[in-house]
Chains A and B, each alone.
Chain A
């Protein structure tokens, strides 16, 4: 690596929603370096007022996602050498969400939509009942398992063009959560989930463009989960008419 290659030109989005501007920083380049390392270097060495969010640094907490060169990424597990273009990086807060400040997106709409999609546990038993047995190789259980590793990073939400164009749309993460719970034997009131995802802005707004499944850092497949909800809501419509 020659001297010129030893420095990264990093453009960082600063400010809050409606008052954003870009600022350039020069950051030393290393052989092994994540995008989060670059952001942290800027905050520690160039501008301590830079705001961003992270916690675990190992791809488990889902708090450090940002737009890197225009694409949503979990920055703690994204190596600079994988995404850098001509020694330059552009880093911005997650798309489709309001901005608190600089690189920290306001996750409120994202999590509100989880609740709107009934994406929370509806228990079947109390602490006084015996534990429910769950058969690991059951078909329903496997459908629930497919989406259970979601870390709520909102990369799919930022990648989705339907979210960008339709404010009411619940988005891939909330709908995948709804599908996971619908298939979970420990969760009851599946009808409430189907009703919630059938409202305007629910699973039927999805155009199956697949950006969610393409960008999910945990290689989950929200698009197929949403397809499952579409099938189940359609079947349920005919079941109810009988």
Chain B
């Protein structure tokens, strides 16, 4: 049953990520076209609740999605299983959340 739950979590986070990826690419192209500097971009993102939620949701979805995928690869390629496998996957999830969360806070908090 755990595998089924992880399968559903991975699909649902993929659904979340798809529009966010398109949004991110669209904004990047727009920002480059206009010739915005890093300082100007930070001026718009820092203090913005919208961008905090946009990239915060993305980091949350990526951390869950990627750690489930890596858990499967680790199981099939290295034979890791049981509690150790789940612990490694949880660690990967926590690391992605910490790294991504730090980046989101750096560009959206004042």
Contact = CB atoms under 8 A, between A and B. Distances in A.
Contacts of A165: 76-77
A166 B71 CA distance: 13
A204 B76 contact: no
B76 A166 contact: yes
A205 to B, nearest CB: 6
A230 B8 CA distance: 10
B102 interface: no
B11 A200 contact: no
B76 A202 contact: no
Contacts of B2: 200
Interface residues of B, number: 10
A234 B77 CA distance: 27
A204 B77 CA distance: 17
B39 interface: no
Interface string B2-28: 111001100100000000000000000
A113 to B, nearest CB: 15
Contacts of B75: 166
Interface of B: 1-4, 7-8, 11, 75-77
